[in-house]
Amino acid sequence: MAISAAGIIFSSLNNNTLSRLTTDRTVAAIPFACRYRLVDFCLSNLVNANISNIYIVANYSYRSLVEHIGSGKDWDLARREGGITMISPFQTSYASSSPKLFSTHMEALRSMKEYINELKEDYVVLMDADNVVNIDLENVIKTHEQTGAEITFVTAAIPETYTSKTPRMMVSSVADKITDIAMSASYNVKNPELSLNIFVMKTHSLRTIIEEAEAYSLDSLTKLFLANYKSSNYRAYRHDGYVASVSSFLDYYKHSIALAKNPEARDSLLWKKGFPIFTKVHNSAPTVHTATAVVENSVIADECFIEGTVINSVIFRGVHIGKGTVVKDSVLFHGTYVEDNVELNCIVTDKDVHITSGAKLSGNENMPFYVQKKRKI
Amino acid sequence: MYCKKECIAMLLAGGQGSRLYDLTKQTAKPAVTFAGKYKIIDFPLSNCINSSIDTVGVLTQYQPLALNEYLGNGAPWDLDRSRGGLTVLPPYQGSKRSDWYKGTANAIYQNINFIKQYNPDYVLILSGDHIYKMDYLKMLEQHKATGAACTVATITVPMEEASRFGICNTNPDGSIYEFEEKPKNPKNNQASMGIYIFTTKKLIEYLEADEEDEKSSNDFGKNIIPNFLNNGEKLFSYKFDGYWKDVGTISSLWESNMDLIGQTPVLDIQDNHFRIFSRNTARPPQIHGKNSSAKNSLISEGCKIYGTVENSVLSGGVVVEEGAIVRDSVIMEDVVIKSGARVFTSIIDSDATVGEGATVGTENAGKDKITVIAKGTEIAPGATVQD
């Protein structure tokens, strides 16, 4: 029987460390892997599990997200019933002290309590947009049913690229039963695993959690987990596929380059059989490679015009690479125009950057150089 | 309830395209893949929407399954409208008669009621097998200015090829005094593009008369246009000077694909001033492996290139494995070229597999010796297939 579940995606509630990429966009709208935005992975994971009633929670700079999602048609989510509902910023009395926008998962959940009370689905999947995975959620929910867990936490091995500067939820478990939770990077739990912040629970459990949080004035989901895990049946579901956990700009860069260089990463995220990633479609023409083009170990979107050399790079839609130009270990966002005889090394250009002839820009693989939107160099 | 439209388009998409052989065995010609991610019919449909014509009847007959699925509700071309939009018009059973479309004119005749419900002043007749970008509004403006009953779009073709086309002989003011279908000794090289604008009243009048004529083959070029001339109706030619190609043969389909590549391609598919729309699929970006090479080519999303691609057009999801070579070829969706295989001067239809070390086509064969591989064909490892 088909599973009956709703999805709630949180865009940028726990992430202030991506500053450069999020100056004018919410985390879910960060471009990734040539033609996607982070939210595409969440939406596709849900849609591939036949979940079609989806709420997206975003508090700041969500305009590009709204534009990207449109009617939801591109994810087959323009439905008469269900589809995508944006939970937009809400000046709420649930938020602590003076009126402000919700800033934690729990505040957001409390602000959308009416929606949650009306859900007809048996299960809910909560997920953050900043852990990019391609996961079989149907299997996660089935496992959840079988184990009788109250909440299933999807976890993964801590990635090599993980830098301890950003706090992430870590869990440890014995025979999949969660025995410890820590909200820190210092690994003060045994055999820590990274929580991907994908939580599966019964809808009525979520309602109970919200009531409990209201009763005890808890403003954070993590605090509630920490208070309850010892007495509750919280279980871990280990995801073995590639995880692009985008908790910092450097993470973002490293995972992007991994897509170009590491076939396992891109096969796991983008080419998983039966699990396509959907995105807003643009009517872009195919990419032109001219007689002088050299492209190696790279992923390239549509409508690019390539006359130069591209190595170990991620090239978004509509990028122009001029003659004699060499682009290495770089990520060039949509509409980047690189003239002739330019050298780019470890560079991330935001949308519509223009780099003029003869320029030489170089970052370092541990400190990539970022060029902001519409900048001309 | 149908609102009036000034001009509606009727797109003839029922042709078999028998000269495309294997490529149209299971697919109508308008649904044949072109330029990587497009179908031939994307061109006239995009031309319509780019010319603000939002009501298009698509007449289908031959192998319509793939075509109908592709057209859907017309959304990719912004033609999913509550008033007008795209309507697929197959032959149907009527209370008095039921017939296949006997000819181009008969196909329109059978759908006169579709035309009448929009009460248009003008009807644009298009065919679904030409590659070109054209603003039909300019043609309509001329049609209105000259007060013609019918305007025929024409294109200059090389004199030596003129005898393959319908040739319009015109007066200095552009009015047509003679129309010759495939003349042995053409008087000039202004060929009809098979695109007509009719003043609706006249069109209906002549279609009805043509239907009464039992000797008629119910064809625009052979019957309707000559009848207009014989009766002294005002006929004008509209000279079009952009890119136009009838892709009705294997060599012209291949040539037209080759026109898309190069430093300054003859047909620039990336030119966004007049965008061509198509139904998009969710495919990942294209991937280029280590030691791969892609030069002078047009490559679509979802391709995985680990070998060498030169002077070719690749549709979505094509895999070129290590050591494989693809040169001067058109490769359609999801074809797999296994390692060490070599493909020269070929058109390979979708879902085919070229086995390890196999050879398809002849090196530098040119347009008259194109090897065609049918949809889903599996070529054994080491085999050689040449036309």
Q: Write down the ipTM of this complex.
A: 0.88
* Interface probe, candidates A34, A287, A312, A319, chain B, greatest B C-beta count within 10 A: A287
Percentage of chain A lying above the pLDDT 70 cut: 91
DSSP-assigned states of every residue in B308-345: EEES-EE-TT-EE-TT-EEES-EE-TT-EE-TT-EEES
Cα distance between residue A315 and residue A302, in whole Å: 9
User: Which residues of A are less than 8 Å from B265 in CB distance?
Assistant: 288
Question: Smallest Cβ distance to A277: which of B276, B284, B299?
Answer: B284
Q: B121 versus A217: which is more confidently predicted?
A: B121
Tell whether A281 is covered by a domain. Answer: no
Average predicted confidence (pLDDT) for chain A: 89
Cα distance between residue A198 and residue A153, in whole Å: 6
pLDDT band at A175 (very low <50, low <70, confident <90, very high): confident
Cα distance between residue B178 and residue B223, in whole Å: 13
Contact between residue A115 and residue A55 where contact means Cβ atoms under 8 Å apart? yes
* Residues B278, A283: C-beta atoms closer than 8 Å: yes
B282 near A CB under 8 A: yes
Helix (H, G, I), strand (E, B) or coil at B74: coil
Starting from the edge strand earliest in sequence, which strands make up the sheet with B297-299, in order? A354-355, A337-338, A320-321, A305-306, A287-289, B297-299, B313-314, B330-331, B346-348, B371-373
8-state DSSP, A286:
P
Q: Could you tell me the two tokens for B360?
A: 């398809």
Which residues face A355 on adjacent strands? A338
Candidates A141, A332, A152, A263; CA nearest to B290 is A263
**Residue range of the domain that includes A263:** 5-270
Tell whether A56 is covered by a domain. Answer: yes
* Interface probe, candidates B266, B301, B312, B322, chain A, greatest A C-beta count within 10 A: B301
Cα distance between residue A254 and residue A251, in whole Å: 5
Distances (CA, A) of A244 to A41, A65, A138, A237, A276: 11, 20, 21, 17, 17
Q: Could you tell me the two tokens for A170?
A: 């870590």
Angle separating helix axes A38-48 and A137-147, nearest 10 degrees = 60
Q: Could you tell me the two tokens for A28?
A: 């879910």
Which domain-ending residue is among A270, A299, A316? A270
A193 and A293 both lie in a single domain: no
Q: What does the pLDDT read at residue B357?
A: 96
Q: At B190, which helix (H) or strand (E)? A: strand B190-199
A127 and A245 both lie in a single domain: yes
Q: What does the pLDDT read at residue A183?
A: 74
A200 and A298 both lie in a single domain: no
Percentage of chain A lying above the pLDDT 90 cut: 63
Q: What does the pLDDT read at residue B240?
A: 95
The HSE-up count of residue A348 (CA atoms within 13 Å, CB side) is 25
8-state DSSP, B253:
H
Tell whether A277 is covered by a domain. Answer: no
Q: What is the residue whose two structure tokens read 């009956």?
A: A4
A30 and A127 both lie in a single domain: yes
Cα distance between residue A56 and residue B142, in whole Å: 52
Candidates B211, B234, B238, B237; CA nearest to B223 is B211
Q: Which of A59-73, A118-132, B87-101, B291-305 has the lowest mean pLDDT?
A: B87-101
Amino acid identity of B2?
A: Y
Length of chain A, in residues: 377
Cα distance between residue B96 and residue B154, in whole Å: 38
Q: Could you tell me the two tokens for B345?
A: 């001067």
Cα distance between residue A280 and residue A245, in whole Å: 22
Tell whether A283 is covered by a domain. Answer: no
A109 and A44 both lie in a single domain: yes
Q: What does the pLDDT read at residue A173?
A: 87
Question: CA of A172 to nearest chain B CA: how many angstroms apart?
Answer: 35
A63 and A200 both lie in a single domain: yes
Cα distance between residue B316 and residue B318, in whole Å: 6
Tell whether A45 is covered by a domain. Answer: yes
Given a cut of 60, whether residue A99 has pLDDT beyond it is no
pLDDT band at A140 (very low <50, low <70, confident <90, very high): very high
Q: What does the pLDDT read at residue A188?
A: 65
Contact between residue B53 and residue B136 where contact means Cβ atoms under 8 Å apart? yes
* Residues A299, B296: C-beta atoms closer than 8 Å: no
Q: What does the pLDDT read at residue A190?
A: 74
Buried b (16+ CB within 10 A) or exposed e, B99-116: eebbbbbbbbbbbbebbe
Conformation bin of residue B302: beta by default, left when phi > 0, alpha when psi is -120 to 50? left
Contact between residue A311 and residue A298 where contact means Cβ atoms under 8 Å apart? yes
Cα distance between residue B105 and residue A127, in whole Å: 59
A263 and A347 both lie in a single domain: no
Distances (CA, A) of B266 to A19, A121, A350, B247, B255: 45, 56, 32, 15, 11
Candidates B287, B299, B304; CA nearest to B339 is B304
Q: What does the pLDDT read at residue A23?
A: 79
DSSP-assigned states of every residue in B145-182: HHT-SEEEEEEE--GGGGGGSEEEEE-TTSBEEEEEES
For A222-270, what is each residue's pLDDT tens digit?
888 988 888 999 999 999 999 998 888 888 999 999 999 999 999 999 9
A72 and A219 both lie in a single domain: yes
DSSP-assigned states of every residue in A214-250: HHTT---HHHHHHHHTTTS-EEEEE--S--EE--SHH
Candidates B337, B131, B149, B339; CA nearest to B240 is B131
Q: What is the residue whose two structure tokens read 């699929």?
A: B281
Question: Which CATH number belongs to the domain containing residue A91 in this structure?
Answer: 3.90.550.10
* Residues A296, B289: C-beta atoms closer than 8 Å: yes
Surface-to-core class of residue B369, CB atoms within 10 Å of its CB (0-12 exposed, 13-18 middle, 19+ buried): middle
> In sequence order, what are the residues at sequence separation of 6 or more whose Cβ sits closer than 8 angstroms to the Cβ of residue B47?
B126, B132, B133, B134, B135, B136
Q: What does the pLDDT read at residue B2?
A: 62
Tell whether A376 is covered by a domain. Answer: no
Tell whether A71 is covered by a domain. Answer: yes
* Residues B270, A35: C-beta atoms closer than 8 Å: no
Tell whether A137 is covered by a domain. Answer: yes
Q: What does the pLDDT read at residue A345?
A: 97
Cα distance between residue B207 and residue B223, in whole Å: 10
Cα distance between residue A185 and residue A130, in whole Å: 17
* Interface probe, candidates A288, A304, A306, A315, chain B, greatest B C-beta count within 10 A: A288
* A104-A152-A13 Cα angle (round to 5): 15
* Residues B299, A287: C-beta atoms closer than 8 Å: yes
Question: Smallest Cβ distance to B275: which of A35, A74, A283?
Answer: A283
Amino acid identity of A35?
A: R
The HSE-up count of residue B73 (CA atoms within 13 Å, CB side) is 5
Given a cut of 70, whether residue A286 has pLDDT beyond it is yes
A313 and A257 both lie in a single domain: no
Q: At B126, which helix (H) or strand (E)? A: strand B122-127
Q: What is the residue whose two structure tokens read 């509700």?
A: B73
Q: What does the pLDDT read at residue B82?
A: 84
Cα distance between residue A240 and residue A262, in whole Å: 16
Per-residue pLDDT in tens (0 to 9) along chain B, 387 residues: 568 899 999 999 887 767 777 778 778 888 899 999 999 999 999 999 999 999 999 998 888 888 899 999 999 999 998 889 999 998 877 767 767 788 889 899 999 999 999 999 999 999 888 999 999 999 999 999 999 999 999 999 999 888 888 899 999 999 999 998 888 999 999 999 999 999 999 999 999 999 888 888 888 988 999 999 999 999 999 999 999 998 888 999 999 999 999 888 899 999 888 899 999 888 999 999 999 999 999 999 999 999 999 999 999 999 999 999 999 999 999 999 999 999 999 999 999 999 999 999 999 998 889 999 999 999 999 999 987
Helix (H, G, I), strand (E, B) or coil at B71: helix
Q: What does the pLDDT read at residue B297?
A: 96
* Residues B301, A286: C-beta atoms closer than 8 Å: yes
Helix (H, G, I), strand (E, B) or coil at A50: coil
Conformation bin of residue B134: beta by default, left when phi > 0, alpha when psi is -120 to 50? beta
Cα distance between residue B366 and residue B317, in whole Å: 26
Q: What does the pLDDT read at residue B161?
A: 85
Arithmetic mean of pLDDT, A75-88: 88
Arithmetic mean of pLDDT, A327-351: 97
Q: At B65, which helix (H) or strand (E)? A: helix B64-71
Question: CA of A279 to nearest chain B CA: how many angstroms apart?
Answer: 7
A297 and A216 both lie in a single domain: no
Number of domains in chain A: 2
A59 and A93 both lie in a single domain: yes
Length of chain B, in residues: 387
The HSE-up count of residue A167 (CA atoms within 13 Å, CB side) is 8
Q: Could you tell me the two tokens for B5?
A: 């439209």
Residue A304: closest CA among chain B residues belongs to which residue?
A: B270
A160 and A116 both lie in a single domain: yes
Q: What does the pLDDT read at residue A26?
A: 86
Given a cut of 70, whether residue A94 has pLDDT beyond it is no
Given a cut of 70, whether residue A187 has pLDDT beyond it is no
Q: What does the pLDDT read at residue B19?
A: 74
Buried b (16+ CB within 10 A) or exposed e, B344-361: bbbbbbbbbbbbbbbbbb
The HSE-up count of residue A35 (CA atoms within 13 Å, CB side) is 30
For A4-45, what is each residue's pLDDT tens digit?
999 999 986 555 567 788 877 888 999 999 999 999 999 999
Which domain-ending residue is among A240, A270, A300? A270
Question: Which CATH number belongs to the domain containing residue A323 in this structure?
Answer: 2.160.10.10
* Residues A294, B293: C-beta atoms closer than 8 Å: yes
Buried b (16+ CB within 10 A) or exposed e, B161-173: ebbebbbbebeee
Which residues face B327 on adjacent strands? B310, B344
* Residues A298, B288: C-beta atoms closer than 8 Å: yes
Residues within 8 A of A (CB atoms), B 339-368 only: none
